[in-house]
Amino acid sequence: MKVYLPSGVTINYLERGTPAGLPVVFIHGFPFNHRMWDAQMRALPHGIRAISYDLRGHGESQVADGQYTIEFLVDDLIALLDHLVIDKAVLCGLSMGGYVALRAVERFPERVRALVLADTRSEADGNEAKVKRSASILTVKRDGVPAFAETFVKAVFAPQNMSAQPQAVEFIKSIIRSNTQLGIAGTLVALAARTDTTSSLAKIAVPTLIMVGEHDTLTPPAASEAMHKAIKDSKLIVIPGAGHLANIENEAAFNEALVAFLKQV
């Protein structure tokens, strides 16, 4: 389904479960789309109102002018909640999705029922990371999206899973290839320019589950441990055998922890 938001951007989203159930909104990572949450959407009890969507510039959502900020992505999320008549939702974000969720709870704490932060961090990009983002923009513009996808998957999967999970690797490649050069480049700029939400972690007053892949090198377990220490009463789970895509590389462990947490919420 698609909705035209007040910002002038059309967002694609998927919904399943009971309309009156606990709303859980899945926010995907970069440079993916809502399909990265397929296994979680299937795993949730029918009594949950599960929603996944494509962030602007990704999947079937509008690319528009390619000038993005994390603030725009948060605005889109809140506008989607308004469209769906959801007062408060559980936000489940992975990597970039976690950045969006953390900024959303910082700006709109009254709209968040609980948080699931997966393979993400609160810190903004340092200078080295910003330079890498810039290099990635040049790469995708020069070599194209398919070549970018071939390189990118090596950074997000644990090395052993590159060979052990060929179907999952190809699935993620296909998702990346569905995006445009402009959408990817614009999102890289937004990621490099995002604010640091570390100082707001202590103010988070909703149930929070933090999950991270054991072998995640992009947002390593140490980053999750730091968030866990800062967010009062949060729970931290390290997903064994997984890299940066813990929900895909160890779907069973991720889903078990997610469903258990939602039952408590």
Q: Is pTM beyond 0.95 here?
A: yes
Whether the ω angle into residue 220 lies within 30 degrees of 0, i.e. cis, is no
Domain count, the chain: 1
What's the pLDDT tens digit per position in 82-136?
999 999 999 999 999 999 999 999 999 999 999 999 999 999 999 999 999 999 9
Domain that includes residue 18, residue range? 2-264
Work out the pLDDT band at 185, boundaries 50, 70, 90.
Answer: very high
Q: Are 15 and 36 in contact (CB under 8 A)?
A: no
What CATH number is given to the structural domain containing 47?
3.40.50.1820
Burial (CB count within 10 angstroms: exposed 0-12, middle 13-18, buried 19+), residue 68: buried
